[in-house]
Amino acid sequence: MKSGWRWYGAKDAISLREIRQAGVTDVVAALYGRRPGEVWPVEEIQALARQVKDAGMTWSVVESVPVHEDIKKHAGDWRTYVENYKQTLRNLAACDIKTVCYNFMPVLDWTRSNLAYVLPDGSDVLCYNHVEVAAFDLFSLKRPNAARDYDEETRDRAKTLWEKLPPSERTRIEKSILLGLPGTVDDLTPAEFLKQLDAYRDIGEETLRAHLYGFLNEITPVLEETGVKMAIHPDDPPRPLFGLPRVLSNATDIRRMCRECPSTNVGLTLCTGSLGGSLDNDEVAIFREFAPRVHFGHFRNIRHIAPGVFHESESHLRGKVDMIGLVKELLKEERRRGEGIVVRPDHGRHLEIDRARTCYSGYDYGGRLVGLAELRGLVFGLEHGMQG
């Protein structure tokens, strides 16, 4: 396992020196100043790569080169954005950066309803509660026809919840969904969010799938010529949201992508926490089945506490995800390839040592430091014959 770490560049409260001291070799970064659809200039890529190198590490994975919304919709200038995407891939490859994480979730990147769910020890984590999301959708956003996207029980529970929530809690849910999560390109007002949702009115699941596969097959010649590997990030959470289609939530979706896009340069970010958001997903089986296509890993654990409600766990090793089984698959695949796969500790608890600084939600120092140490300890134990 190559130890990765997501770094938000100049805006990150965490320094490269701290990251290096966490035992990291591979930095996961992006040109955050560039808008979706723009070509990333070689000089800018080189400058960031040099900064990372001077700190004793390598920028080896990009997270993310965002896919412009128009590519997902086949709207406006989408063909130009595809060409620009190809050029960005060529420019990254010229700087020897050959793994690209991205997602194909419409409008919102990942979604949570609580960015500070408090655990018994006083640390806090991110939480997704489907009833809170439904309540927001139905009674705050008031999305037209939202009711038909929820079953009766969820609608009733959402109504009861919303009625009893104090204004501060309602605001907490609204802000958690619309603002503040890294990954989402712009903070959204409710009106802007509704407008963007409406733009997907006529785009169903099959259409979005066709757009994803079409995009990947269109860029495949560039992937093969440069050696770049595309690592799609699964839908987080892995279920339809706000009436939007989802196309990468489970093994069936991955299987289909692999069938429609035969190049092995088209692969996956094995994000255990995203896949683990559904009790039906078996992350270890997914790793096993698609191992040659796993180009990057996000490892974390989660706990499901009620139907449709989960939060990140108190440890990267314990929870819904069988981390021992997963790391065994990782080691097996690494032996087969004869090289390591970059894995980053995905999200961590917000601990006391980070209270004095503001990190991106889920991306504190202490919590991820512990997570990475746990993962490395597990790898060390397994490599030295410890029985799981």
Residue 110 touching ligand DNO (CB under 6 A):
yes
Nearer to ligand DNO, 44 or 109 (CB): 109
Element (H, E) at 6: strand 2-6
Binding flags for ligand DNO, 229-268, as an x/- string (CB under 6 A): ----x-----------------------------------
Least separation in angstroms between residue 269's CB and ligand DNO is 7
d(CA 230, CA 212): 12
Piece of 19-27, 103-111, 281-289, 308-316 that binds ligand DNO (CB under 6 A): 103-111
Catalytic residue status for 360: no
Q: Which of 103, 123, 265, 313 binds ligand DNO (CB under 6 A)?
A: 103
Neighbouring residues of 340: CB distance < 8 A, sequence distance ≥ 6: 1, 2, 334
Residues 287-316 that bind ligand DNO (CB under 6 A): 298
Catalytic residue status for 271: yes
- In the sheet that 309-312 helps form, which strands lie side by side, from edge to edge? 114-118, 124-129, 309-312, 302-306
Catalytic residue status for 295: no
Which residue among 117, 128, 363, 365 is the active-site one? 363
**Tokens 């919709």 label which residue?**
73
d(CA 314, CA 119): 8
Least separation in angstroms between residue 102's CB and ligand DNO is 5
CB atoms near residue 33 (< 10 Å): 11
Length of the chain: 388
Catalytic residue status for 304: no
Residues 111-170 that bind ligand DNO (CB under 6 A): none
* DSSP annotation of 138: I
Least separation in angstroms between residue 347's CB and ligand DNO is 6
* Sequence-ordered alpha helix ranges (H) in the chain: 16-21, 42-54, 69-73, 78-94, 130-135, 152-164, 167-178, 190-198, 205-226, 251-260, 272-275, 283-290, 323-337, 365-383
Closest by CA to 264, choosing from 337, 198, 322, 200, is 337
Least separation in angstroms between residue 303's CB and ligand DNO is 17
Catalytic residue status for 298: yes
Least separation in angstroms between residue 57's CB and ligand DNO is 19
Q: Kindly list the residues in this chain that would bind ligand DNO in the complex (CB under 6 A).
A: 63-64, 101-103, 109-110, 183, 233, 298, 347, 362
Catalytic (active-site) positions: 233, 271, 298, 346-347, 363
